[in-house]
Amino acid sequence: MSRVWIFLVLTLCLVLNSACAARRTVLGPVRDLSVEANQAGMKEFSLGNLGAAQVEFERALHLNRSIDHREGALINLNNLGTIRLKQADPDGALGIFQEALELARAVSDRAAEAELQVHTGDAYGMKEEYEKARSAYQSAENISLEIRDTLLRKRALGRLGALGITLQAWEDAEKDLRDAYRLDQEAGDEPGMALRESDLGVLAMNRDRSEEALALLTSALERHRKLEIPSGVSLDLQRLARFYLSRGQSSMAEEYAGRAFFSHTGSGDPAGAVQDLLILARACHVQGDDQRAMEIIDRAKEMLKELADSKDLYKNIEAAEAELGLNP
């Protein structure tokens, strides 16, 4: 009897091993295809082809779901949510990030959960639901402290600091940004330091610390140029234009806004370029050239026709026209 039992156990093991081997034979190629699709999506995303990237990420997600590869599906959902943010669709992004958060918790991936909380905060920020954004960023920081992930903590602190600037909570913003900057310095993270200096420059500008603001924004611009980060260069140029305009130096504001405009258009960021034009229009108004200011605003309106979502930018144009007394 014992020999029969041993034979049955061995037979069962062989059957199970055969089944597992067959499953691995299926899972391996499917997983490879999902990785290829995700990589193709990342390439399209880096080129700014969001529609093509979305198709590839959705294909990768379908493949990963077909073999119940939850870790892979988590990556795909994160990428799809990020595309929604780039498309100015925070509601669509929130739905995807919520599904991804549930999956991250199911597979006990705390780092992914923290990353998704950051993205969730970004989506709420786009909706101007700032308390929800703050709660998401704070959750991300708490998780980063728990798992001792410095990179994630820097990201969460940076977002909290930027949100504090938006809400004019200057002391909280400065504390968060300086904590993030310290961590950047300790890690030798040059891109992080550049971003933090830029944000701290905006904060100093709003707190009437002009010399500090100029030094920080100039340093950030130099770092971004050295690192060859076009988006950072464009942002710093635009912030320097705002700085000079706030100081009543309209000629310098015009110069930097013009450089920011060419930088934004060169890097394919029409929304940033429209903001540059509005700064240029204000500089022209200060110089007494309202005719040119109106022409620049008309140019900004033309650029907006090419943008899928320009509601907020139209509000900015209307505010600029009202501020400059240029409404017909």
What is the set of domains in the chain, with CATH numbers? 229-328 (1.25.40.10)
Q: How far is CA 146 from CA 54, 143, 153, 161, 287, in A?
A: 33, 5, 10, 20, 54
Encode pLDDT of 97-110 as tens digits.
Answer: 999 999 999 999 99
Q: What is the pLDDT of residue 24?
A: 47
Kindly give, in sequence order, each residue whose CB lies less than 8 Å from that of residue 118, ignoring residues fewer than 6 positions away. Answer: 136, 137, 140, 152, 155, 156, 159
Q: What is the pLDDT of residues 190-231, one digit of tens each?
A: 999 999 999 999 999 999 999 999 999 999 999 999 999 999
Per-residue pLDDT tens digits for 290-323: 999 989 988 888 887 766 554 555 455 555 556 5
Q: What is the pTM of this model?
A: 0.80
- Please, what is the end-to-end C-alpha distance for the chain in angstroms? 100
The pLDDT, as a whole number, for residue 48 is: 80
Q: What is the pLDDT of residue 77?
A: 95
Give the model confidence (pLDDT) of 110-156 as tens digits.
Answer: 999 999 999 999 999 999 999 999 999 999 999 999 999 999 999 99
Mean residue pLDDT of the chain comes to 87
pLDDT in tens, 11-22: 434 433 444 344
Q: How many percent of the chain have pLDDT more than 90?
A: 74
**Cβ burial 73-109 (10 Å sphere, 16+ → b, else e):** bbbbbbbbbbbbbeebbbebbbebbebbbebbeeeeb
Residue 50: the pLDDT is: 87
- Within 10 angstroms of residue 303's Cβ, the number of other Cβ atoms is 17
Residue 82 near residue 74, CB atoms below 8 Å: no
| More confident position, 134 or 44 | 134
User: Residue 196: CB partners within 8 Å, gap ≥ 6?
Assistant: 158, 161, 177, 180, 181, 184
Rounded CA-CA distance 237/86 in Å is 22
